[in-house]
Amino acid sequence: MQAPVVPAGYGYTSLPVVPRQIVLSLPGPQIHSLHDPLSRSVASLVFSWQQVQRGLHAIAAGGGLPAEAGVQSALDAMRLELKNWQATYPGDRFQLLFRFPRQRIGRELHQILKLGIKGPLIQCASHVASCLQEMSITPQEEKMWQLFTAFEVEEAEPGVLGEKESFGKHLHLRGGATGQIQLMQDWEWPYMFALADAGFQISLQTVKRLVGTKHLRILEIGWGQGISGRRLMDNAELAGVQELQVEYEVVELHPQVAADARVEAARRQGSLCSMRVHEGPWQKVMPKLSANSYDLIFYDPLNITPRYIGEKQLYESWGLPICVFEALQFYRLLRPGGVVVQYAISHRSSTAKMLQEEVAPLFRELRLTRIAGLQPEANSSYVTTEEAADLFAPALIK
């Protein structure tokens, strides 16, 4: 098959490196006592969260292992409160999850991160974020993920990449309150290639610098059309380093898309790159993955919201930029020197400016590459023509 043609005007432009920054702040306010059982349990969660805060402040001041143990003990107390509520009030066992104080916790976690960026603080904060993500999942989120898995994949005409992409010209789902969910379209392939190439090269260089290391581990969140996943694994083959063992893993929620990824995994058997599929929402899968285990994370999921199932959100939103909360969870999974590349066609959220101001200070370095000249499909609902014509490919290095 003939290689795809790069669109006119497409190219890479390196941008300045963003250094780490230090900002001072103060701890959050104290809690107020309330009297009904639900309010008391919420107050108990907040009280335990305050213990987490104190531990994080102590770590920021150089507290070391005792402070880390205090943080873990307080997180365990939060889990126990949730467990005890479900056992005591089986008829309303999920009610406390809907009152989980995400707004307050996120806001105060954000304030702590601005105390001063130090390795032990960020490492512990990343563990805290992962635990908070896992323990606070509500039935409404479980419901919307379950309904999402039943949405049908629309048929599409063949795409420009042929066998290098799944599902054809685009990956759209039919169903839900909006009627159609556009997951991905193949006009994005140069952008996906740019992200995959940047992440792979940085992570490969890091691995080569580590004496005796012969293992490169990659995690991708969202298989989609498989454009970036195949590119990453093809890069591993083209690297030609026979001594290098590459392990690629992908997290995918939709069963038909996950099945497509498994077909690719079977095809890759016996190659230099092994492949494993984790099926389920990343919010449940990622917290169970081992810390400090990955050299490269490629992040490009659909963030499903209750509007897709025609409901209002019944749970609190996190009280900090969601890209910060997500970045902390990436940080936990990355090895030192590891890199996360993030799809940043804005979706009105993780823009380059937000990454520079809020996420870059958590990492050792942010590298931004500009991708110019892409043209979306006429019916694209998730990106404007102006956004697609001038994109950023961010790479965050731990």
Q: Give the pLDDT confidence score for residue 4 in this predicted structure.
A: 42
Mean pLDDT, residues 242-254? 90
CA distances (Å), origin 358, targets 44, 109, 113, 202, 334: 30, 13, 10, 22, 19
Mean pLDDT, residues 365-378? 92
Distance CA 233, CA 248 (A): 7
DSSP states along 208-269: HHSTT--EEEEEEE--TTSHHHHHHHHHHHHH--TT-EEEEEEEE-SHHHHHHHHHHHHHTT
- Which position has the token pair 């285990």? 293
Percent over 90 (pLDDT), the chain: 72
pLDDT tens digit sequence for 216-227: 999 999 999 999
* pLDDT value at 18 more than 50: no
240 or 159, which is more confident: 159
- Which position has the token pair 């942010």? 366
* pLDDT value at 250 more than 90: yes
Helix (H) or strand (E) holding 13: strand 12-14
Distance CA 362, CA 209 (A): 23
Mean pLDDT, residues 1-12? 40
Closest C-alpha among 298, 297, 247, 315 to residue 97: 315
Q: What's the order of all strands across the beta sheet hosting 170-174?
A: 152-153, 170-174, 180-185
Distance CA 170, CA 5 (A): 18
Q: Which fold has domain 12-17+143-397?
A: Rossmann fold (3.40.50)
pLDDT band at 387 (very low <50, low <70, confident <90, very high): confident
Domain ranges of the chain: 12-17+143-397, 37-137
- Sort residue 279 into left (φ over 0), alpha (ψ -120 to 50) or beta: beta
HEC states along 233-247? HHHHHHHCCCCCEEE
Helix (H) or strand (E) holding 358: none
Contact between 397 and 338 under an 8 Å Cβ cutoff? The reply is yes
pLDDT tens digit sequence for 169-189: 999 999 999 999 999 999 999
Contacts 24+ apart (CB under 8 A), 26-33: 26/111, 27/53, 27/57, 27/108, 27/111, 27/112, 28/53, 28/104, 28/107, 28/108, 28/111
Distance CA 13, CA 6 (A): 15
* pLDDT value at 366 more than 60: yes
Question: Quick one: how far is CA 53 from the chain centroid?
Answer: 24
What tokens does 3 get? 């290689």
Contact between 52 and 75 under an 8 Å Cβ cutoff? The reply is yes
Mean pLDDT, residues 36-52? 96
6 or 180, which is more confident: 180
Distance CA 98, CA 87 (A): 16
Percent over 70 (pLDDT), the chain: 88
* pLDDT value at 11 more than 50: no
Q: Give the pLDDT confidence score for residue 183 in this predicted structure.
A: 95
